[in-house]
Chains A and B, each alone.
Chain A
Amino acid sequence: MKKSPIVIIDDNVTMLHSLEEILSINDYDLYLCKTISEAKERLVYDVPIMIICDINLPDGNGIDFIKEIKTNESLSEVPCMLITGDLARATFRRSMLNGADDYITKPFSPTEILESIEYLIKISSKRSRLIVRVNEKLKEINHINSHELRHGVSSLQGIMALLESQDIDISECGSYFTTINQELEAGIQRLNKLLNNEE
């Protein structure tokens, strides 16, 4: 299966190749870009496992680019790292406030960058698994709501409407109420189990 790439954006070719060399150890699939627009072309059809970006780029600012990524629905969960020679605390703060997941200053050691990348990818895949689990639960809750609880409630509403218009006799409804009550009770129990993580 094709692996999702790490997208690296830096206009300095030497820096790009040095990152390529460091990351080749871990067999990452890399996509190297010299400009933001080059990266954007790739991001249209591919969600990378990570984005590593310089701040000062020929066609824009890395911090603004990351801010854009974090507000894009399909890319917002992709971890973003900024690599820069800018040591100013204000730039660091602005980067983090705009969504950067890490901020590495040049010069850096291969270990430093590798550890950070591994950590960010690990956290991100953990978060993705969590999102999948939450969505599965929501789907199940939706199913219980739509098909079990609402079914019982709508049956009660139907019977009440027929009683009101005197199209059904109350003597016929006793067993119906028992059945509907059992159905609602079972639905509520399933919902409680699900909410208490018992299944």
Chain B
Amino acid sequence: MIWLIDDDHIVNRMNSITINKAYPDASLTIYSSARAALEVLSKAEKIPDYIFLDINMPEMNGFEFLMQITNRSYDIRIIMLSSSIDPNDIDKALSFHPVKTYLTKPLLKQKLLNLNLDI
């Protein structure tokens, strides 16, 4: 199970096509708000295997989401997916334990296949 958290509907549309192409068997859920995703997560019986997470989002940004996830000790593998190449953003994101890797947008099929996701 893969979750995609990004407030941009164009990015979500593109990434869902790419993820479906690279991992046709994966079940994909899209959240356009990190807060909404967190609420679902707190009640979910089954947590996702992977979350693709954007940084720059209104209401609750990627870092705030990561803080909540880390505090609640969920065992989720997070893949950061942001347009930011700012080393401060990259270092900060990678300092959170659940973050396994940091990808810069766009999410291309080959980049995604190289991750060898365990689906």
Interfacial residues, chain A to chain B (CB-CB below 8 A) = 142-143, 145-147, 150-151, 153-155, 157-159, 161-162, 165, 167-168, 176, 179-180
Contacts and interface: CB of A to CB of B under 8 A. Distances in A.
Interface of B: 8, 10-11, 13-15, 17-18, 21, 55-56, 82-86, 89, 104-109
A155 B18 contact: no
Contact of B21 (A159, A167, A179): A167
Contacts of A150: 83-85, 104-105
Contacts of A165: 21, 109
A168 B11 CA distance: 13
Nearest to B14: A158
Contact of A167 (B8, B18, B55, B104): B18
Contact of A154 (B13, B17, B21, B83): B83
Contacts of A151: 8, 56, 83, 105
Nearest to B90: A146
Nearest to B81: A154
B105 A142 contact: no
Given A147-B82, A151-B8, A176-B10, 19 more contacts: A143-B86, A145-B85, A146-B82, A147-B55, A147-B56, A150-B83, A153-B83, A155-B11, A158-B14, A158-B15, A158-B105, A158-B107, A158-B108, A159-B14, A161-B108, A161-B109, A165-B21, A168-B14, A176-B13
